[in-house]
Amino acid sequence: MGKRPADPENKTPAAPAAGAADGWARFRQALKSRVILADGAMGTLIYQRGVFIDKCYDELNLSNPELIRSIHDQYAEAGAELLETNTFGANRYKLQRHNLAQNLALINREGARIARESAGSLFVAGSMGPLGQERVTWGDQSEKEAREAFREQAAALIEGGVDCIILETFHDLNELLQAVRAVRSESAVPVIALMTAQEDGRTLYGVEVEEIARTLSGEAVEALGLNCAVGPKLMLDFLERMMPASSLPVAVMANAGKPQMVDGRTFYMSTSDYFGVYAKRFIEAGARIIGGCCGTTPDHIRKMAVAVTQKTTRSSATIPSVKSGPQAENLPEPVPVEKKSGISGKLTCGRFVRLVEMVSPRGKDISKHLEGARLLQEADIDGINIPDGPRASARLNGLALAVKLQEKIGIETVLHYTCRDRNLLGMQSDLLGASLLGIRNILAVTGDPPIMGDYPDATAVFDIDSVGLSRLLSRLNRGLDIGGKPIGEPTAFLIGVGVDPSSVNTGREIERLRLKCEAGAEFAVTQPVFDFATLEAFMDKAGPLPLHWIAGVWPLVSLRNAEFMKNEVPGVHVPDELIRRISRFEGKEDQLKAGIEIAVEMAGRVRKQTAGIQVSAPFGRYSLALEILCAG
């Protein structure tokens, strides 16, 4: 459907209230640059607080604003960036059923005010639902009346200071179109338009989700999408169908599964953890606004917030490429890749590289780590890979451990470096110091958010992500700092990055990997691989890239360990077949043997396809890693 014809009855949109235009512009910019997390259900929490469903929930903005504010506060605390006003049914027809139509403007303005008090600098969306009238044949007069009803509600919300209008839970596409046009006739406020689809991917009146996307793309909306009716799995299916049908940002807000009746009470069965998993999948599939609908709570939004932090590329600082720098012509020659480090020399000449992961201790005692490093050196392992605060844990600085291992044992290290904990200035200082101390191999990673780790209230920086960090390392290798000023002798870092071959959105993961290559990445270490076919398919799809592949292998030491890796470690996919294979054994020793067998098999297969292998040593058991490397 193309652009709609001009409506001669539409008046010139009113100018925004003082300050409103700034909020509208901020929202539009945010929608372009990142994923926005909306809140969850309002009615679910109101009902849980003892307000029966025969009460007008919108009127609570007047009679019990403290209740509504407390719910907004909970969602804001959980990590929502977009709070919806408690005005879903605050139109003339629904309010009339409660003899409240005369209070329409006040209820909507107060709904906006209460949400704004909780939101602060967060965004406030004015919530508008269907009119609640029986579906009629939309003639000229009924369409005009519908538009007027939507317009007067929108006018009150805009007067209240919302940053956008969200039209949600519409079953009739034509009714939604009237709502969009009514809002747009009133103001240039950003509009999010959401329909509701049933389990078959159609509205109640038979419109396919693809047609919803195509039709709304012809309207003056900032985002389109779906909410309500179905749970996360079906919502993801519908999202993937809608994405190719529109170039506009897509929003999805699923129910917490299908409601179940238990002892006369309604329960929504999808857990918050389940929503956290699907939030990642929504983001990877391309959603720009995600949130919850019926049955979701602040706990659901809290888990979704973790996923947003993990999956969203946050790169507020831009580091230009070396080619664009004014000093590019006078820079010293960079160190040739084969001379950067022992590992880079081996990779360049085609020697298969073997690495073992070593996690820093929680204290400063590294005696066991030195003992393990000596064992690995005697086995002719090429290097030790040191994560940087994995899963946001508080541990000994990885740089300190790397320097001690190289000084005392003489074994080369690969140091992970995250963007989570330092701003750009701190990063440059750290990396120059690392170069001076003899560190030559850096694995650039964005880093796990603090909420996943030991101290969830700690702040995160994320000035740049792993792409920006790769570019920063590349500039230092060319003798330039972040501002483009010469630093004298260049660094000689071999630049590595991480990659997730099991990502549910392989296209996005490959595109990210290509960006990392353009930024200067020279090798990539995969997340632990438990399914060789998945790795092989990912590499084939990625095609030829100017970097060396190093496959990650993790020995599963027990059934519990396998289940933990499958369900609780981001970016790791353990096939059910392997879980069943280990579960056939009851004793821990037999389960360990099965896990080692699986890892040996994987090591043998990846050796034929990659330039190297990294084996993890669960619980510091380096002998297990050697057993796999020597057998594989």
Give the mean pLDDT of 574-591: 91
Sorting pLDDT into bands at 50, 70 and 90, what band is 5?
very low
Residue 259: per-residue pLDDT:
54
Query: Residues with Cβ < 8 Å from 85, sequence gap 6 or more?
Result: 108, 111, 112, 114, 115, 124, 125, 126, 127, 157, 160, 162
Sorting pLDDT into bands at 50, 70 and 90, what band is 320?
low
CA–CA separation, 225 vs 203, rounded Å? 12
Residue 562: per-residue pLDDT:
87
Residue 258: per-residue pLDDT:
62
Q: Where are the alpha helices (DSSP H) in 138-208?
A: 140-160, 173-186
Residue 261: per-residue pLDDT:
46
Residue 563: per-residue pLDDT:
86
Sorting pLDDT into bands at 50, 70 and 90, what band is 541?
very high
Question: Which range, 5-14, 255-264, 494-503, has the best average confidence (pLDDT)?
Answer: 494-503
Query: In angstroms, what CA-CA distances link 541 with 251, 532, 535?
Result: 28, 14, 10
Residue 311: per-residue pLDDT:
63
CA gyration radius for the chain?
A: 28
Residue 574: per-residue pLDDT:
87
- Is residue 584 helix, strand or coil? coil
Q: Catalogue all structural domains in the chain, each as residue range(s) with its CATH number.
A: 35-311 (3.20.20.330), 334-631 (3.20.20.220)
Query: In angstroms, what CA-CA distances link 225 with 270, 286, 388, 587?
Result: 21, 12, 38, 50
Sorting pLDDT into bands at 50, 70 and 90, what band is 55?
confident
Residue type, position 615, single letter:
V
Sorting pLDDT into bands at 50, 70 and 90, what band is 588?
confident
Q: What percentage of the chain carries pLDDT values higher than 90? A: 61
Residue with tokens 């095609």: 543
Residue 389: per-residue pLDDT:
72
Residue 65: per-residue pLDDT:
94
Q: Is the model's pLDDT at 570 over the cut of 80?
A: no
Residue 618: per-residue pLDDT:
84
Sorting pLDDT into bands at 50, 70 and 90, what band is 230?
confident
Give the mean pLDDT of 526-554: 93
Give the mean pLDDT of 373-381: 96
DSSP one-letter string for 290-323:
EEE-TT--HHHHHHHHHHHHHHS----S----GG
Q: Give 506 or 410, the one with higher predicted confidence.
A: 410
The answer to whether 230 touches 198, Cβ cutoff 8 Å, is yes
Give the mean pLDDT of 135-158: 80
Q: Where are the extended beta strands (E) located within 42-190?
A: 82-84, 123-128, 164-170
pTM for the predicted model, two decimal places: 0.58
Q: Is the model's pLDDT at 453 over the cut of 50?
A: yes
Q: Count other C-beta atoms under 10 Å from residue 2's C-beta.
A: 8
Question: Which range, 41-50, 450-459, 606-615, has the best average confidence (pLDDT)?
Answer: 606-615
Question: What confidence tens digit (pLDDT) does each residue in 379-418 have?
Answer: 999 999 999 876 657 889 999 999 999 999 999 999 999 9
Instruction: List the end-to-end C-alpha distance of the chain, in Å, as a whole number.
Output: 58
Q: Is the model's pLDDT at 326 over the cut of 80?
A: no
Residue type, position 156, single letter:
A
Pairing mode, strands 441-445 and 413-418: parallel
CA–CA separation, 86 vs 56, rounded Å? 11
Q: Is the model's pLDDT at 329 over the cut of 60?
A: no
Residue 619: per-residue pLDDT:
84
CA–CA separation, 122 vs 69, rounded Å? 14
Give the mean pLDDT of 190-196: 96
Report the residue count for the chain: 632
Residue 216: per-residue pLDDT:
96
Q: Which of 162-171, 217-226, 317-326, 482-491 has the least mean pLDDT?
A: 317-326
Q: Which of 25-34, 127-136, 342-351, 380-389 has the least mean pLDDT?
A: 127-136
Query: Residues with Cβ < 8 Å from 440, sequence gap 6 or more?
Result: 340, 341, 343, 344, 412, 492, 493, 494
Residue 136: per-residue pLDDT:
44
Q: Which of 131-135, 196-200, 540-544 has the least mean pLDDT?
A: 131-135
Question: What confidence tens digit (pLDDT) does each residue in 63-79 have?
Answer: 999 999 999 999 999 98
Q: Give 490 or 461, the one with higher predicted confidence.
A: 490
Sorting pLDDT into bands at 50, 70 and 90, what band is 116?
very high
Sorting pLDDT into bands at 50, 70 and 90, what band is 482?
confident
Residue 325: per-residue pLDDT:
45
Q: Is the model's pLDDT at 545 over the cut of 50?
A: yes
Residue 253: per-residue pLDDT:
94
Give the mean pLDDT of 514-533: 93
The answer to whether 19 touches 189, Cβ cutoff 8 Å, is no
Residue 332: per-residue pLDDT:
82
Q: What is the mean pLDDT of the chain?
A: 87
In 3D space, the residue among 47, 38, 37 whose CA is nearest the CA of residue 259 turns out to be: 47
Give the mean pLDDT of 15-41: 82
Residue 6: per-residue pLDDT:
38
Give the mean pLDDT of 551-577: 84
Residue 360: per-residue pLDDT:
93
